[in-house]
Structure 1
């Protein structure tokens, strides 16, 4: 029987592109998108869509049963910078939505879950270079606290109830298809937009702030490859470290200047600098590479070339 996939938070930065990629792979009618609001035309017109509050167990269960859903990708979340402004709302969204899908899997109403964690689970006392898979985790943001807590619950439900939950710790994500969603690494999307539209960018992080980053195509592929991997190969049921590239605002500006020589950048760090300072500068993802063959395809130069090329076609 053809599997049915539900995406919660399908209109977000990752959710939109993930939905379209899954529909291309598994068939439009087999991938049900959902969110608390409607999404882009391409999302809405390419397959089933449901208005759905991911924090409502009854509402999620109803959709799961109606479509006979076997897999859930839980992408609904309030990201780092926005969550600092609305701590309780962020906690409730990020945690209640996770409990809902974990409990549905515990009750054997769904077979498999993908839930993204983040480099926000780490903290200022975590080793910043090549941050290990297993290490000290003292997150200092609401988003990071919710993701670290979520990791522990995922591992618990897997060990206690044999729930098949799979996760990766996403670094900052770069995409030309969707607008930034309130994250600290959003500068790496905004800078390309501003470079083309204004020829200049005022960055909210310091010039030398190195952070792990990933082009969205790699991020989507990682989720799908992990979900398609044989369960017995997976040794991590909290969340896998996932790496691709690391760079600073100065370095990304340099890569843009190779194609737009007149581009200029200035720096005016705000509250997001403290968040960035608590995160790693590079990631050791050797466990993901070993267990399920993870390998990124985009480096900084390829990412900059693709971002500028695609954004030009939109303007």
Structure 2
């Protein structure tokens, strides 16, 4: 199997690429991104190509030259950055996906993974235990592009028989890559000053609750969904979550291990985005259809994050450069 990972230098892509290379071999997994890999492991473990997915000809060339059969399409402009650059968000998130779907239809690509987001929900969506089937009323360009993406994937699956599978990811927490312009970035940022013994200024209120997931669960969910028998899948894109907590609860959990850690809450424009998103997610369809089960809750995630970042600090490389 020849696999292409777009957005391979991003938060999820940089780690998913390594997992796929361990499973299928380094040369079988082509990493593609708009910047060079900052991770030595990513750069040395297999091929990398520079790629803007909004450039159809460049994407077609990569698919053709590498004989791509499966694509993990992770290239995207995220929520906070998308509000600052909405035209670029549409170009990458929608036109890039459309290019891929058209090329998949023409070239016979076997399978596509397309991550959606809780950003597809909005003020008219139930905020607690948000159901699988509900109103999609996003208030951000990122959310609009993700709803559009879900609809495009549905159309190409039904009209042309493409095998496209996706997850509505919550906030993703990882120690390996820096925040990438998302509204849930505070849940990653908070750990860095904590391990340095510094205070943190949080850009959402203390009582802001959002669904979250630790990176190992994020990666496992993608692999499990892609390997699930198609006959068992009732949905093209699944709700998925692992935990929900407030910014204050995260700070309190960190404080159990870092006594005296201080957080000041100074909400900015991202607060309005967070207030439009769910507080918790009903992912029972994923659990029923393909056996989804997260391994990490808040306490386990905090322990792992602090340990990983403490090791990075001791090695003199706390802040990743990706």
Q: Shared fold (TM-score greater than 0.5)?
A: yes
Equivalence map 1:80-95=2 (5 Å)? 80-95=79-94
- Return 157-166 or 102-111, whichever deviates more: 102-111
Q: Distance in 1 between matches of 2:181 and 2:197?
A: 21
Aligned-residue offset at 1:97: 1.1
- Whether 1:163 and 2:162 are equivalent positions in the alignment is yes
Give 1:54 shift: 1.0
Cα distance in structure 2, aligned partners of 1:125 and 1:34: 37
Match of 1:295 among 293, 296, 302: 293
Secondary structure at the residue paired with 2:257? coil
Please say if residues 123 and 140 of structure 1, whose CA atoms lie closer than 8 Å, have aligned partners that are also in contact.
Answer: yes
Say whether 1:266 aligns with 2:264: yes
8 Å Cα contact 1:199/1:262 also seen in 2: no
RMSD value over aligned CA atoms?
Answer: 0.8
* Structure 2 residue aligned with 1:17: 15
SS in 2 for 1:266: strand
Hey, what does 1:208 align to over in structure 2?
Answer: 207
Question: Which residue is equivalent to 2:280?
Answer: 282
- Unpaired runs of at least 5, structure 2: 314-322
Q: d(CA) in 1 for partners of 2:3 and 2:238?
A: 22
The answer to whether 1:38 aligns with 2:32 is no
Q: How does 1:1-315 map to 2 (within 5 A)?
A: 3-39=1-37, 40-237=39-236, 239-315=237-313
Measured after TM superposition, the shift of residue 194 of structure 1 is 1.3
How much has 1:198 moved relative to structure 2?
Answer: 4.0
In structure 2, distance between residues paired with 1:109 and 1:50: 21
State how far apart, in whole Å, the 2-side matches of 1:194 and 1:227 are: 37
CA displacement, residues 32-57 of structure 1 (integer Å, 9 cap, x when unaligned): 10111101221111101111111112
Q: Secondary structure at the match of 1:179?
A: coil
Deviation beyond 4 Å, 4+ runs, structure 1: none
Cα offset for 1:105?
2.0
For structure 1, the 5+ residue unaligned runs are none
Deviation of residue 294 (structure 1)?
0.6
The TM-score, its normalising length taken from structure 1, stands at 0.97
- Whole-angstrom distance in 1 between the partners of 2:196 and 2:99: 42
Report how many residues are paired: 312
CA drift of 1:106 comes to 1.6
- Alpha-carbon deviations, 1:247-283, whole Å to 9, x = none? 0011001110110111111100000000000000000
Does the 8 A contact of 1:64 with 1:109 survive in 2?
no
Helix, strand or coil at the partner of 2:176: coil
Q: Distance in 2 between matches of 1:65 and 1:270?
A: 44
